[in-house]
Amino acid sequence: MIKVAIYCRLSDEDKEKVNILNESESIQNQKNLLTMYALERGWDIYKIYCDEDYSGLDKDRPDFNAMIRDAGTKKFNVILCKSQSRFTRDMELVEKYLHNKFIEWGIRFIGIADNADTFERGNKKSRQINGLVNEWYCEDVSENIRLVFDNKRKSGKFIGSFATYGYSKDPFDKNKLVVDEEAAHVVRMIFKWYLEGYGTQHIAYMLNEHGMPNPTKYKQEKGMKFKNSSKTDSYGLWNKTTVKRILKNEMYIGNMVQSIRKKVSYKSKRMIVLPKNEWIVVKNTHEPIIEKQVFIQVQNRMNSNMRSTGEGQAHLFATKIKCMDCKSTMHKVKSSNGMVYLRCKLYTVDPKKNLCTSHSIRMDKLIEIVSGKVKYYIESYTKEENLISKLRFEEGLKDKVSQMKLEIEKIKVDIEDKSQIIKGLYIDKVKGVLEEGQFIELNRSFSTDKENLLNRKSKIEEEIKRLEVQSDSFENLINIVNKYRDFKELTRMMINELIGSIEVGERDKETGEQKIKIHWLF
């Protein structure tokens, strides 16, 4: 007696087709068709296995795996599906089971709609072609979905499940973000405290002292079914990692940042973090919570590795002040009379070794010198002739970026053409139209062309980002200079925005002169 296992499968994607085009793919219709097919031939139905809402690429389908286990113990000798694609769309599983394990176990596989039958010798190439086509179908569907999402991302639409902390989804447009004032207030505090010189660990401590729930806890308190796989407790406490992530997030200046992670492939659930130059960033898509120049200051401080004091706050020139001779950082020290000085780090560690000299300078004297030079250079920078020259340079940058973006669009078309040709070569190889040697030679040629195009595209995209950063820096500096034109007193925020570093020379013993060199950010 022939015993039959009937297998049915329907994914979410298939459900859309059922509703729109064809009800024959539904689970019930698959069961009816396969049951009638078995009974007409007098076969005994052992069991009907059914997986709903599972992709044909998913290897973890519960009933599929139960059927495979039963097949291995020979509880039936025929597996009946509507088509090979209902069984799997994964070419690896086609080869593993249809052409290896089922033969070893003495099990016959039948796909009614596409005439797949492992008892037919001449049927193998057809099954392999079906396997390739089914897998390419999944690849194409995955690619099409990715392209749709990427197009939305590139047009500045938000497609995430949960809005970034500080924002919420617009109730009238789920692809748009609006400011959530309650959380945005916390974000502004974090940036303010950091620019005042507090470290990320101390900021986390202050937030916890104020009883502020961290982003995960905040979303859960708002009724969102949000899960954070990296959370370490259920108390909703802040930590320095969360604070750093917020301080680095460009979303807070109104830029939509997406495509930070992606799946390894359409066949895998594992996610990888993409390099920053592959992120999709669209500027000015939503209301900013943080001013752009404030964000730039924060990034400069983070990149400088500035450390806070024991009280959690850094001194005015922290990380900016360097020894002119050995280039090491200057350390703040206090004299016995309470006067604050800055001295070379290398000298301070062990003066007796004579690794460097002290380069000592009083803090109040340095503040006076730097303040005077800031006022002088701000006046020079804002002269009309200098601004006109810089504006012309800015226009040239914009034209160059536009031309490069047009070239990228043309390269994308060429890449897609090469991909389609390579797919065609695989089909011709399986059908026997191309010999192995011909396939290898042609595939290598077109693959090389595609790789060269991808490299060219990557280089152009990097150059565009560099030019855009240059353009943004120019615009930001004009705003910063205008902002501090009539300043009264130096602040940590001013120094971050205007100065890259300050070098202090050793005092001349005869003249008493001491060189101060300021490296400006404008």
- The residues near 300 (Cβ < 8 Å, ≥ 6 apart) are 496, 521
Least confident segment among 8-22, 261-275, 413-427, 435-449: 8-22
Residue 297 lies in a domain: yes
Residue 427 lies in a domain: yes
- In CATH, what number is assigned to the domain containing residue 291? 3.90.1750.20
pLDDT (0 to 100) of residue 126? 67
- In CATH, what number is assigned to the domain containing residue 71? 3.40.50.1390
| For residue 387, pLDDT beyond 80 | no
| For residue 20, pLDDT beyond 50 | no
Task: Give 76-87 pLDDT, tens digit per residue.
Answer: 999 999 888 888
Q: 233 — phi, psi (to 5°)?
A: -155, 175
How far is Cα 362 from Cα 123, in angstroms, rounded to an integer?
Answer: 89
Dig out the tokens for 392 from the structure.
Answer: 């012309």
Task: Give 238-253 pLDDT, tens digit per residue.
Answer: 999 999 999 999 999 9
Least confident segment among 7-16, 92-101, 302-311: 302-311
pLDDT (0 to 100) of residue 154? 86
- The residues near 157 (Cβ < 8 Å, ≥ 6 apart) are 175, 176, 256
In this structure, the answer to whether residues 265 and 161 fall within a common structural domain is: yes
In this structure, the answer to whether residues 18 and 129 fall within a common structural domain is: yes
Q: What is the DSSP letter of 252?
A: G
What range defines the domain where residue 410 resides?
A: 384-483
Going from the C-alpha of 211 to that of each of 222, 227, 313, 395, the distances in angstroms are 16, 21, 21, 49
Per-residue pLDDT, averaged over 89-116, amounts to 87
Q: What is the C-alpha R_g of the chain?
A: 33
Residue 312 lies in a domain: no
Q: What is the DSSP letter of 432?
A: T
Question: Are 250 and 281 contacting, i.e. CB atoms less than 8 angstroms apart?
Answer: yes
Task: Give 412-448 pLDDT, tens digit per residue.
Answer: 999 989 888 888 887 787 777 788 888 888 888 888 8
Give the chain's mean pLDDT. 82
In this structure, the answer to whether residues 94 and 145 fall within a common structural domain is: yes
| Residue where one domain finishes, among candidates 149, 184, 215 | 149
In this structure, the answer to whether residues 290 and 169 fall within a common structural domain is: yes
How far is Cα 8 from Cα 406, in angstroms, rounded to an integer?
Answer: 48
In this structure, the answer to whether residues 174 and 71 fall within a common structural domain is: no
What total number of domains does the chain contain?
A: 4
Per-residue pLDDT, averaged over 169-179, amounts to 93
Task: Give 483-506 pLDDT, tens digit per residue.
Answer: 777 788 888 778 877 888 899 999
In this structure, the answer to whether residues 191 and 277 fall within a common structural domain is: yes
| For residue 109, pLDDT beyond 80 | yes
pLDDT (0 to 100) of residue 130? 65
In this structure, the answer to whether residues 283 and 159 fall within a common structural domain is: yes
Q: Is this structure's pTM higher than 0.95?
A: no
